[in-house]
Chains A and B, each alone.
Chain A
Amino acid sequence: NAGVTQTPKFQVLKTGQSMTLQCAQDMNHEYMSWYRQDPGMGLRLIHYSVGAGITDQGEVPNGYNVSRSTTEDFPLRLLSAAPSQTSVYFCASSYSNKQGSEQYFGPGTRLTVT
């Protein structure tokens, strides 16, 4: 199994541009989520999905959209990039959304918005 994969690894955008961060998992996990990591702030939840066709907002959803058309894929879209969205983005998945389920993380996408 490849686990959780993310593309691209690095990306530079200009303010106002849009892009999609890709995330895929091959473990047949129902629960997927997106986090952003900023220095001194740990990881903060952006959006999550408890199954195909179901998504919901996390702690910091503004400026991001998600969709979950298949179990495997959970892309994160930036509609109009802003410098405040410069961060490292992690996708994660787990077998279920029950408390205690281990989340598996992808390698991350480092995004810079100029």
Chain B
Amino acid sequence: QLQLQESGPGLVKASETLSLTCTVSGGSISSNSDYWGWIRQTPGKGLEWIGTIYYSGSTYYNPSLKSRVTISVDTSQNQFSLKLSSVTAADTAVYYCARHLGGNYYNAFDIWGQGTMVTVSS
């Protein structure tokens, strides 16, 4: 059974870079030519798609965050990662990693990590 687990610092200072990793277990990150995404959730803005990466490394970003976001994949570690630069208090959120259903970018997210809370401090 495929599982995803987010990890990374729970506290990041304003203007610095937020870095999170999603570890995939119970299967290979590249076995089904899957697409993997990052989504965040705040009380104010709700759920927000950050971006998606194909197992081969192609990326798709939310235009509103594109200038600050980098998503990468490490197939040898069965992980993919999120970096968000120049963070502000508005980036305080629960960050989720998730898989696109059916190995298709044009599909919903069927498997989600449990989420990790990241707070940006001044």
Real complex partners, A and B?
Answer: no
A residues neighboring B (CB under 8 Å): none
